[in-house]
Copies of this chain bind each other. A is one copy, B any other.
Amino acid sequence: MLKLTRKVEYSLIALRHMQRKSIDSVSSTKEIATHYNIPLEILAKTLQHMAKENIIEAINGPRGGYRIKAKLNNINLAEFFEKVEGPLGLSDCFYDANCMQIEHCNIRTPIQRINDNMINMFRSMSVQDITN
Contact = CB atoms under 8 A, between A and B. Distances in A.
Contacts of A17: 106
Interface in A100-132: 100-101, 103-107, 110-111, 113-114, 117-118, 121-122, 125, 129-132
Contacts of A92: 3
A70 interface: no
Contacts of A97: none
A36 B4 contact: no
Interface string A1-30: 111110011001100110000000000000
Contacts of A104: 35-37
Given A4-B1, A106-B13, A107-B13, A125 B114 contact: yes
Q: On chain A, which size bracket covers the interface?
A: 35 or more
Contact of A107 (B3, B81, B130): B130
Interface of A: 1-5, 8-9, 12-13, 16-17, 35-38, 77, 81, 85, 88-92, 100-101, 103-107, 110-111, 113-114, 117-118, 121-122, 125, 129-132
28 contacts: A1-B4, A1-B5, A2-B2, A2-B89, A2-B90, A3-B90, A3-B91, A4-B90, A4-B111, A9-B107, A12-B111, A13-B105, A13-B107, A16-B106, A16-B110, A35-B104, A36-B101, A37-B100, A37-B104, A38-B100, A77-B114, A107-B130, A107-B131, A113-B130, A114-B122, A117-B121, A117-B125, A118-B121
